[in-house]
Structure 1
């Protein structure tokens, strides 16, 4: 039984925070079962979509702190999912590239994330899901730092 006070239950900020918590737990569990973390997915997705990048570029694209990027890239290198090598055009920079095992892992994580979306958004029609995604994207864009 939900005993959330109406003054909270009627506020989108409350609803978003509650749903974000549930979503985060589902994503964490899905990725953990695939031997990954959310940072891994973000980095692999960025490398797949945009191509090789420096660790600093990856941090900016994925909105991950530089020290966390280093840790996550180290883990992905150890797993054989990315390669890190000196940038031939800039001696003090490393260039990170997704590998075939990284592409395979990204595919598994995409599947896991699709399942999370289906579970999280089960009560919504496809049209409602599209509308929700559009509205959330608009809100996020409005509140992103420049």
Structure 2
């Protein structure tokens, strides 16, 4: 028997998932998150990047230089993982580390010129991947979906 996960049917047109499950927002969000994560992870890997690389570069571009702790808070990357991410980015000359003049025990991380170019390239890669992920939706529907998801996430971030 061949399954078509995306359509939610088995061969012969018989639904493989009960309708009451297909109507549950939590289940739909979970399944879409899994597919989205796989698509983005594989797409960025083809561009020799990881999601955390993008998160750090985007944070530095938008908010400016910061300490490792600040970058961890901004990006949601655990502090213990941030060192490895920054090592990878520094090895590629995408970020620069310099001692903090106010506290020599701490480094300040800055995006490099090469890092800015890389971020623009990754923006293009992600735009293409999101086009693939959201293909059945019109531009207005995509904007609406992002708005609704943002509202939900902001709500739950405030109440957690």
Return the offset for 1:8: 1.2
- Structure ranking higher in helix proportion: 1
Runs ≥4 in structure 1, deviation > 4 angstroms?
Answer: none
- Which of 5, 12, 34 aligns to 2:25? It is 12
Choose between structure 1 and 2 for higher RCO, CA contacts under 8 A separated by at least 6 residues.
1
Q: Partners of 1:12 and 1:83 in 2: how far apart?
A: 43
Return the offset for 1:126: 1.0
Report the structure number with the largest CA radius of gyration.
2
Return the offset for 1:48: 0.5
Q: Partners of 1:70 and 1:113 in 2: how far apart?
A: 24
- Which of 109, 118, 135 aligns to 1:105? It is 118
Q: Partners of 1:85 and 1:17 in 2: how far apart?
A: 40
- Which of 34, 46, 60 aligns to 1:33? It is 46
Return the offset for 1:34: 1.2
Aligned length: 146
Return the offset for 1:65: 0.4
Q: TM-score of the superposition, structure 2-length normalised?
A: 0.88
Q: Partners of 1:63 and 1:118 in 2: how far apart?
A: 25
